[in-house]
Amino acid sequence: MDEIELRAAIDRVLPGVRADLERLVRIPGIAFEGFDHSQVERSAEAVADLLRGVGLPDVRIVRAGGQPAVIGRRPAPPGAPTVLLYAHHDVQPPGDLTEWRSDPFEPVERDGRLYARGAADDKAGIMTHIAALRAFGDTLPVGVVVFVEGEEEYGSESLETLLREYRDDLLSDVIVIADSGNWDIGQPALTTGLRGIVNAFVEVRTLDHAVHSGMYGGAVPDALTTLSRLLATLHDDNGDVAVAGLVRGSAAPLDYPEDRFRQEAGLLARVELIGTGRIVERLWAKPALSVLGIDAPSTGEAPNALVPVAKAKLSVRIAPGDNWKSAYEALVAHLERHAPWGAKVTVTLEQGGEPCVVGTSGPAYDAARAAYAAAWDGVAPVDMGIGGSIPFIATFQELFPGAEVLVVGVEDPDSRAHGPNESLHLGEFARGCLAEALLLAGLG
């Protein structure tokens, strides 16, 4: 099919794609512990049905001890390449329901955006693949392997085993990962690097048991003050991460105007930015360290007692070129070395994931540039980094060294993935569907 036919075909399939996206987001498939995993099963079944519906002859639900993934395959026409299309069907928990303007699992359209948990991250990714496949019907010019995993938001623990187990079924020439975003509305992007991640807990203990804060306060350090002092050592006065030994790289030459950035982040008027260097460098090419939570007595219930033990959850985003094990060691060394007042500091790992660099010099990348520019009516895509993580991209790259990886997606700066009121920009979604169809045509 040529570009004109594909445009018409995408227009034709879009209403059905939208309806199926709404059906998918009504299934609250959350892989986190403590959530109803039968919903993840339902969501895998729904994805399998969609893949059967586009005529893939070989669709299976697979697992390796974790949540179900779906693999659908269709062999390549003679001489054509095979393209692996990746997305994930699990979503983040909805969080605080009172912050949502509408039910997170009941899609609602407002001002051209579809609001629901997973509408953007990453059920839009699944439906982008489905849209492209539907547009071609049985004239698909390439072989495809669709791989939709079910525990990306929970760290993809069993993914590596799964990839190894199904290696032969997943073999492909090009891997298209639809789980990222564009630079702005109207400005497409190809993602050329992602940060990795190290999540860890640090526990500080100063006392064997809680004691009266009047009797002992003044001479005995409480664990919460001690933990706070320890956390305060993690950044220097500029707000750069102070942990020694983390990699710092350089980022794409994109300008992220400070006022745009502040507005998109929702930063309060007089709050300063932290860190140094260009904004995109801080986001994509330098480490970031955040405190995600603290276990300590809550203020409403805290007695007049010295807290014996307190624990924080830390999250380090590590730059492309770093690796999570050495970053974790650097973090542990820092925390142990800076233990205030001789407190007992215990660090435990929650999860680690590698950063990645995505090449920009292969034929698939060129085909993607052309397809995205056409879908956005002549606006060429920019190369951008992402501060978030998709750790298994590194695993794909290692397991399938011959395949060219492309990272794309339909999130935009206002998608609010992981937060309340997540949404998908429907106009950009339509362009993303067309771009993927054009890309498959180009690769064919």
- As annotated, the active-site residues are 90, 152
- Read off the tokens for 90: 């699990």
Q: Which of 121, 151, 383, 404 binds Mn ion (CB under 5 A)?
A: 121
Stretch that binds ligand BES, among 93-101, 141-149, 174-182, 338-346 (CB under 6 A): 174-182
- One-character DSSP codes across 287-356: -EEEEEEEES--TTT--SEE--EEEEEEEEEE-BTB-HHHHHHHHHHHHHHT-GGG-EEEEEEEEEE--E
222 is an interface residue for Mn ion by CB under 5 A = no
Does residue 432 bind ligand BES (CB under 6 A)?
Answer: no
Contact pick of 37, 72, 107, 121 for ligand BES (by CB under 6 A): 121
411-430 residues near ligand BES, rule: CB under 6 A: 411, 417
Q: Which residue lies nearer to ligand BES by CB, 194 or 441? A: 194
Residue 155 within binding range of ligand BES, rule CB under 6 A:
yes
For the CB of residue 390, give the shortest distance to ligand BES in the complex, in Å: 5
> How many CA atoms lie within 13 Å of 294's alpha carbon, on the beta-carbon side?
18
> Which bin fits 277, alpha (ψ -120 to 50), beta or left (φ > 0)?
left
User: Rule CB under 6 A: is residue 116 a binding residue for ligand BES?
Assistant: no
112-148 CB burial, b ≥16 within 10 A, e <16 = ebbbbbbbbbbbbbbbbbbbbbbbbeeebbbbbbbbb
Write out the two tokens for 325: 């094990």
**121 by DSSP, 3-state: which?**
coil
Cα diameter, the chain: 82
153 vs 173, beta carbon nearer Mn ion: 153
353 binds, among Mn ion, ligand BES, none (CB under 5 to 8 A by kind): ligand BES
> For Mn ion, which is the closer residue by CB, 121 or 173?
121
The binder of ligand BES chosen from 67, 128, 180, 397 (CB under 6 A): 180
Identity of the residue, 235 or 418, whose beta carbon is nearer to Mn ion in the bound complex: 418
- From the list 69-77, 356-364, 384-392, 432-440, the region that binds ligand BES by CB under 6 A is 384-392
Torsion sign (Cα): 218, 222, 226, 231? negative
CA distance 97 to 99: 5
Chain-centroid distance of CA 174 in Å reads 20
The single residue among 22, 90, 122, 151 that binds Mn ion, judged by CB under 5 A, is 122
C-beta atoms surrounding 89 within 10 Å = 30
- Binding residue for ligand BES, selected from 197, 198, 327, 435, defined by CB under 6 A: 197
Q: Would you say 76 and 142 are in contact if contact means Cβ atoms under 8 Å apart?
A: yes
Per-residue contact track with Mn ion, 130 to 169, x per CB under 5 A?
A: ----------------------------------------
Residue 411 binds which of Mn ion, ligand BES, none (CB < 5-8 A, kind-dependent): ligand BES
Token representation of residue 80: 């054509």
- DSSP string spanning 254-297? ----HHHHHHHHT--TTPPP-SSS-HHIIIIIS-EEEEEEEES-
Element housing 149 (H / E): strand 143-149
In whole angstroms, how close is the CB of 42 to Mn ion at the nearest point?
A: 19
Using CB under 6 A as the binding rule, whether residue 391 contacts ligand BES is answered as: yes
Stretch that binds Mn ion, among 120-128, 186-194, 291-299, 424-432 (CB under 5 A): 120-128
CB 207, CB 306: distance < 8 Å: yes
Residue 192 near ligand BES by CB under 6 A? no
Chain residues binding Mn ion by CB under 5 A are: 121-122, 179
Chain residues binding ligand BES by CB under 6 A are: 121-122, 152-153, 155, 179-181, 197, 353, 386, 388-391, 411, 417
